């Protein structure tokens, strides 16, 4: 407490000293300007002013002092000196001059010289220039002192209005660690110019020179209208030179219309994906969702929760969110508190394996649309516990699908994975069996429900993806664990994947398996390198990369289509329809029921996997104990 008291006391005393300094300098400037005005008006012969010379300085100086006190010109914060302070100084100086002129009109002629107007004009100009100059010099001195203080040498990419605004905010705010040393910009006409004392450089020719000279550690991207290609190229240039890149949010996300220092964020891997924005058939999606009850299973997971958020934009009657994970369900409930209170979102804790519970939900709420995202998806874990993969991914899907038919659900959209293609692990095979069941059920008998399957690869930042794992390892300065230097995966952002799920659901007529355009595969080793660089660290110096070997069931590369499959285009360029073999429901139903029975009866995992391979002939285990089953 004493130290806190002393700190506050010292800060207040420093503020008082600054005010007295400014007040004293303003008085000195006023006295100087009056004296100089008289000397100039009388050609440096002040005795010709007569009695005016003897009393004018005292009266006008007194009026200036009163005016400075009235307008509180001394009550300024040096680091925030700006136009408002200059305006206040102008009002203070001119007010005192006007008052003096009025007083002069009341004086007898003997006391008033003929040259009063020139004297007051010269005095006013000199006094105003002096007072403004004092503030400019104080601000420059403050900026110089601050610039010499410790801080992270930082550059701004973008010398336009946005970049200058960012520099001004950082200069006027002391609660950040950044020290702006340079601007980079792609406009040749401003190269070499100074913006608030900071020079503008050509990023193509001078980048490395500036980085080395000023020891730049951070670059802030502060430019509007930058093409994705140029943005990515500049980020790569920064990362290759071990410079950390920060970004600012879009203007519509600024707090109260003002950029806050806390809104500066590190770039992430999504910023390096040159993927154009997805254009949805908004009307088609809206027509399929508006005013309807929609059920989302696995609603608290990364995919399920994003589907919920996007569905709520299309004015459904209610979105029912089902999940068996208590804490994540509580988290999404808190985030959607307003929608819960309005009855637009109804969170329910439950398990897709619990058929009785699910049936009660169907009975009470009568969903019209279902997005089935609930699944076990961790490949190494499911390789150890295949019976759990069957219970959740197969039996859980069967429960949902059968009840959807029983209660006349209009559309059932199943979230699948690229790991169902020539599956090499239990998880992928279990999801393929779920696909087989729902697709065969779609064409069985005469029912109302349309079953639609969507396949896509890894989504950035989803639960279980490499991104959170790598981030945690980097944060803890641990080696990044990589299974193989040549492992590659397809990646898509969570919002992008969920947008395509909604679009596919709206366009589907039943029985389709839609495959999403995942772009080019990403080498995981390259991903690790970029993530280390984005953290401002050096690969193999700050963070090591450790190769651990392929995990059970893991492939080097994922596929998007079976060897015997091909695709047909749809009206959406990022969605294609897979041509797959359609299984007969009457044949696969008994086999799948038997598989579920095996999983629930405690049968050995080898026997369960053997039956899965019977159902999915293309299932060939890789790097797994079940590989022996493929030798025959």
CA dist., res. 93 & res. 67, Å (int) = 7
CA dist., res. 401 & res. 397, Å (int) = 6
Per-residue pLDDT, averaged over 358-379, amounts to 95
CA distances from 554 to 58, 275, 428, 515, 550 (A): 91, 27, 10, 21, 6
The whole-model pTM stands at 0.71
Would you state the pLDDT for residue 114? Answer: 56
| Confidence band of 372 (pLDDT split at 50, 70, 90) | very high
**Given 267, 300, 323, which residue is the final one in a domain?**
267
Would you state the pLDDT for residue 44? Answer: 65
Are residues 393 and 511 located together in one domain of the fold? yes
Q: Is 70 exceeded by the pLDDT of residue 4?
A: no
CA distances from 138 to 16, 88, 165 (A): 16, 16, 21
Are residues 156 and 140 located together in one domain of the fold? no
**H or E element that contains 505:** helix 494-507
With a pLDDT cut of 70, the percent of the chain lying above it is 84
CA dist., res. 354 & res. 479, Å (int) = 41
In a domain, 543, yes or no: no
Summarize pLDDT for 61-106 with one digit per residue, the tens.
888 888 878 877 767 655 556 667 777 778 888 887 788 777 776 6
Range of the domain at 243: 150-267
For 58, what's the count of Cα atoms within 13 Å in the CB-facing half-sphere? 5
CB of 473 within 8 A of CB of 466? no
Are residues 257 and 300 located together in one domain of the fold? no
Would you state the pLDDT for residue 133? Answer: 79
CB of 119 within 8 A of CB of 212? no
CB-based burial label for 527 (10 Å; 0-12, 13-18, 19+): buried
Are residues 401 and 434 located together in one domain of the fold? yes
| Confidence band of 614 (pLDDT split at 50, 70, 90) | very high
| Confidence band of 9 (pLDDT split at 50, 70, 90) | very low
DSSP 313: G
CB of 542 within 8 A of CB of 483? no
CB proximity list for 493: less than 8 A, separation 6 or greater: 270, 273, 275, 459, 460, 461
CB of 374 within 8 A of CB of 392? yes
Q: Is 90 exceeded by the pLDDT of residue 605?
A: yes
DSSP 557: S
Summarize pLDDT for 170-203 with one digit per residue, the tens.
877 767 788 888 999 999 998 988 887 788 999 9
Would you state the pLDDT for residue 344? Answer: 95
Per-residue pLDDT, averaged over 238-265, amounts to 75
Top-confidence residue, 188 or 148: 188
Would you state the pLDDT for residue 564? Answer: 47
CA dist., res. 358 & res. 396, Å (int) = 10
CA dist., res. 187 & res. 309, Å (int) = 40
With a pLDDT cut of 90, the percent of the chain lying above it is 36
Return phi, psi of residue 555, to 5°.
-95, 160
- Reduce the DSSP state of residue 5 to 3 states and report it: helix
Distance of CA 114 to the CA centre of its chain: 70
Query: How many structural domains compose the chain?
Result: 3
Are residues 388 and 322 located together in one domain of the fold? yes
Q: Is 70 exceeded by the pLDDT of residue 450?
A: yes
Would you state the pLDDT for residue 571? Answer: 82
Would you state the pLDDT for residue 438? Answer: 96
In a domain, 278, yes or no: no
Residue recorded with tokens 């619990």:
354
Are residues 110 and 184 located together in one domain of the fold? no
In a domain, 34, yes or no: yes
Are residues 433 and 294 located together in one domain of the fold? yes
**Given 124, 145, 166, which residue is the final one in a domain?**
145
As given in the structure block, the two tokens for residue 267 are 């770039």
In a domain, 474, yes or no: no
| Confidence band of 127 (pLDDT split at 50, 70, 90) | confident
Are residues 19 and 105 located together in one domain of the fold? yes
As given in the structure block, the two tokens for residue 194 are 């100074």
Per-residue pLDDT, averaged over 245-265, amounts to 70
In a domain, 280, yes or no: no
CB of 76 within 8 A of CB of 22? yes
CB of 577 within 8 A of CB of 514? yes
Mean pLDDT of the chain: 83
In a domain, 597, yes or no: yes
CA dist., res. 33 & res. 39, Å (int) = 10
CB proximity list for 54: less than 8 A, separation 6 or greater: none
CB of 127 within 8 A of CB of 33? yes
Residue recorded with tokens 């398996």:
513
Per-residue pLDDT, averaged over 252-281, amounts to 69
Are residues 298 and 433 located together in one domain of the fold? yes
Q: Is 60 exceeded by the pLDDT of residue 13?
A: no
CA dist., res. 422 & res. 555, Å (int) = 10
Are residues 155 and 48 located together in one domain of the fold? no
| Confidence band of 228 (pLDDT split at 50, 70, 90) | confident
In a domain, 528, yes or no: no
Q: Is 80 exceeded by the pLDDT of residue 600?
A: yes
Return phi, psi of residue 93, to 5°.
-65, -50
CA dist., res. 347 & res. 333, Å (int) = 7
As given in the structure block, the two tokens for residue 550 are 């392929």
CA dist., res. 269 & res. 492, Å (int) = 11
In a domain, 549, yes or no: no
**Given 84, 114, 145, which residue is the final one in a domain?**
145
Question: The domain that contains 249 carries what CATH number?
Answer: 3.40.50.720
Are residues 581 and 614 located together in one domain of the fold? yes
CB of 414 within 8 A of CB of 451? yes
Are residues 71 and 172 located together in one domain of the fold? no
Q: Is 50 exceeded by the pLDDT of residue 532?
A: yes
CB of 412 within 8 A of CB of 370? yes
Would you state the pLDDT for residue 536? Answer: 79
| Confidence band of 408 (pLDDT split at 50, 70, 90) | very high
As given in the structure block, the two tokens for residue 281 are 């058939």
| Confidence band of 563 (pLDDT split at 50, 70, 90) | very low
Per-residue pLDDT, averaged over 4-15, amounts to 44
As given in the structure block, the two tokens for residue 602 are 């405690």
Instruction: Outline where DSSP puts E strands in 269-327.
Output: 293-297, 318-323
């Amino acid at each position: 407490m004493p130290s806190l008291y002393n700190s506050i006391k010292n800060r207040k005393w420093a503020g008082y000293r600054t005010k007295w300094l400014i007040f004293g300098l303003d008085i000195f400037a006023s006295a100087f300007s009056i004296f100089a005005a008289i000397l100039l008006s009388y050609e440096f012969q002040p005795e010709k002013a007569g009695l005016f010379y003897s009393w004018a300085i005292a009266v006008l100086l007194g009026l200036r002092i009163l005016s400075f006190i009235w307008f509180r010109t001394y009550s300024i914060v040096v680091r925030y000196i700006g136009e408002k302070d200059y305006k206040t100084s102008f009002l203070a100086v001119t007010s005192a001059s006007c008052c003096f002129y009025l007083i002069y009109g009341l004086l007898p002629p003997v006391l008033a010289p003929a040259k009063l107007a020139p004297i007051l004009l010269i005095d006013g100009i000199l006094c105003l220039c002096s007072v403004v100059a004092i503030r400019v010099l104080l601000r420059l001195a403050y900026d110089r002192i601050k610039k010499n203080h410790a801080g992270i040498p930082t550059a701004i990419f973008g010398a336009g209005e946005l970049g200058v605004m960012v520099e001004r905010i950082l200069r006027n705010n002391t609660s950040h660690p950044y020290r702006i040393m340079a601007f980079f910009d792609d406009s040749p006409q401003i190269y070499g110019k100074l913006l608030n004392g900071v020079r503008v450089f050509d990023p193509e020719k001078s980048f490395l020179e500036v980085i080395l000279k000023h020891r730049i550690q951070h670059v802030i991207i502060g430019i509007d209208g930058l093409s994705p290609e140029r943005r990515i190229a500049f980020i790569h240039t920064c990362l290759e030179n071990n410079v950390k890149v920060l970004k600012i949010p879009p203007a519509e996300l600024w707090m109260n219309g003002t950029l806050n220092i806390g809104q500066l964020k590190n770039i992430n891997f999504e910023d390096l994906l040159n993927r154009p924005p997805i254009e949805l058939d908004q009307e088609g999606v809206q027509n399929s969702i508006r005013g309807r009850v929609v059920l989302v299973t696995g609603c608290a997971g990364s995919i399920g929760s994003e589907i919920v958020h996007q569905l709520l934009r299309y004015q459904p009657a209610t979105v029912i969110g089902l999940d068996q994970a208590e804490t994540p369900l509580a988290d999404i409930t808190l985030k959607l508190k307003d929608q819960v209170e309005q009855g637009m979102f109804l969170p329910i804790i439950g398990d897709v394996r619990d058929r009785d519970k699910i049936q009660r939900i169907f009975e009470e709420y009568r969903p019209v649309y279902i997005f089935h995202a609930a699944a076990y998806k961790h490949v190494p874990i499911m390789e150890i516990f295949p019976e759990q993969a069957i219970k959740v991914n197969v039996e859980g899907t069967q429960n949902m699908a059968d009840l959807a038919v029983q209660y006349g659900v209009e559309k059932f959209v199943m979230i699948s994975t690229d790991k169902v293609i020539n599956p090499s692990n239990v998880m992928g095979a279990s999801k393929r069996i779920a696909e087989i069941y729902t697709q065969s059920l779609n064409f069985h008998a005469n029912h109302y429900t349309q079953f639609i399957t969507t396949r896509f690869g890894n989504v950035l930042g989803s639960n279980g993806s490499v991104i959170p794992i790598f981030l945690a390892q980097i944060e803890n300065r641990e080696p990044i664990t990589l299974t193989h230097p040549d492992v590659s995966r397809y990646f898509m952002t969570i919002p992008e994947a969920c947008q395509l799920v909604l679009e596919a659901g709206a366009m589907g007529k039943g029985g389709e398996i839609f495959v999403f355009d995942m772009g080019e595969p990403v080498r995981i080793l390259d991903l690790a390198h970029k993530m280390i660089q984005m953290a401002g660290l050096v690969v193999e110096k700050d963070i090591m990369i450790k190769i651990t070997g392929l995990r059970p069931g893991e492939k080097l590369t994922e596929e998007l289509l079976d060897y015997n499959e091909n695709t047909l285009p749809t009206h959406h360029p990022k969605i294609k329809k897979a041509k797959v073999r359609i299984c007969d429901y009457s044949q696969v139903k008994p086999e799948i029921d038997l598989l579920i029975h095996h999983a629930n009866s405690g049968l050995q995992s080898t026997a369960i996997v053997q039956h899965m391979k019977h159902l999915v002939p293309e299932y060939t285990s890789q790097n797994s104990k079940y590989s022996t089953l493929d030798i025959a």
